[in-house]
Structure 1
Amino acid sequence: MKDVVSRCPIEEVMRVLSGRWPTLLLYYLKDGTKRFSDLKRDNPTVSARMLSLELRKLEDAGIVRRTAHGGYPLRVEYDLTASGLTLVPLIDGLGGWWDQTAADRSGVRIRDAA
């Protein structure tokens, strides 16, 4: 990862959550434990390598927990840690904000619509 250029905590958050996949992974994991194949199915355009890298990044940040179950084939599951669960309201809030501003994005001013 790139070096930090400021002391702003938002920069640290963005280092972990920026990009296409991290917040999507949190969105799908908020409903509970998922296997790697489930996450791949939820995000069909992500490569297995990228999915693995992003999950590892979230795991290193303490947001996602990886649990490997012995046996053959090896079964690996992912879920949100307690810290990761605190991000769920933020992810939901971003989605809600996007839905609320749909009219604005489509060119309809909120005051005109009321």
Structure 2
Amino acid sequence: MYERKILPNLNCGLDLIGEVLYGKWKIRLLWFINEGHKRPSELQRKIPDATRRVLNIQLKELEEHELVIRKIYPVVPPKVEYSLTEFGKTLVPVITALGNWGDENEERLRKVILQRLNPENH
């Protein structure tokens, strides 16, 4: 398991939110759980580029940061569902605002990202 060698800087809100939301799929996981996709298999279908292992790690971190709750049902085979905590629900407007900003600046963002990825063609 990964062990952090340098302690994070937790002196301001941006550092704190970066620490909690750092991870390629965490914002999308929170969004999809909020939309009602609660089972790991549903989340995997919504984010097919992510491996199940990475999703599980990031879900565990979201759980440790008290943003999601994992409920295990006592059935065979075991059934697991995730839901947002009340604390996690407070992030929904923030994620919505980020998504809206991305939608409003879609062309520009796509252009600068593609330019960075392929500088010789631009």
What TM-score, normalized by structure 1, do the two folds share?
A: 0.84
2:48 is the counterpart of 1:44? yes
1:12-63 alpha-carbon deviations (Å, 9 max, x no partner) = 2101202211001011111125111101111111111111100000000000
1:3–1:54 distance in 2 versus 1, CA, 3 Å: same
Which residue is 1:110 aligned to? none
1:16–1:106 distance in 2 versus 1, CA, 3 Å: closer
* 5+ residue gaps, structure 2: 112-122
Question: For this pair of structures, how many residues does the alignment match?
Answer: 107
2:11 is the counterpart of 1:12? no
> Which structure is higher in RCO with an 8 Å CA cutoff and minimum separation 6?
1
Alpha-carbon offset, residue 9 of structure 1: 2.3
Which residue is 1:97 aligned to? 101
Q: Provide the alpha-carbon RMSD of the alignment.
A: 1.8
Aligned residue identity for 1:43: I
* 5+ residue gaps, structure 1: 108-114
What TM-score, normalized by structure 2, do the two folds share?
A: 0.79
State the alpha-carbon separation in 2 of the partners of residues 84 and 32 from structure 1.
14
